[in-house]
Amino acid sequence: AKQWRGQLLAQLPNVELTLVLGKYAQNYHFDNPKLSLTELVSSWHNYWPAMAPLPHPSPRNNIWLSKNPWFEKEFVPALQARVKEILG
């Protein structure tokens, strides 16, 4: 990302939302790499509306999703509304 991200984003001047998926991306984008996935994702309000930390979209995360029902109840509807807002 250090080598190409700046050049890529220079070609995309109207980015309004960055979905940050997975630990490597989260370590790159967010200040505290020592936060657990749950701590980071549950603090999504701190990065909103420009960025959204998300668990990796893997079937292995079904356990995490079942342990964190707030994600589907609170975060997912907010994300859906934000995407709808951006797309107009």
pLDDT digits (tens, 9 = 90+) for 26-37: 988 988 778 999
Q: Is residue 65 part of a domain?
A: yes
Domain total in the chain: 1
Exposure string over 7-39, b if 16+ CB within 10 A, otherwise e: eeeeeeeeeeeeebebeebbeeebeeeebebee
Over 80: is that where the pLDDT of 75 sits? Answer: yes
- pLDDT of 50 strictly over 80: yes
pLDDT of residue 1: 79
- Domain hosting 79: range is 15-87
CA distance 63 to 69: 11
pLDDT for the residue 52 = 97
pLDDT of residue 45: 95
Residue 21 lies in a domain: yes
Q: What is the CATH number of the domain that holds 37?
A: 3.40.470.10
pLDDT at residue 15, rounded to an integer: 95
pLDDT score of 23: 83
Residue 40, amino acid: L
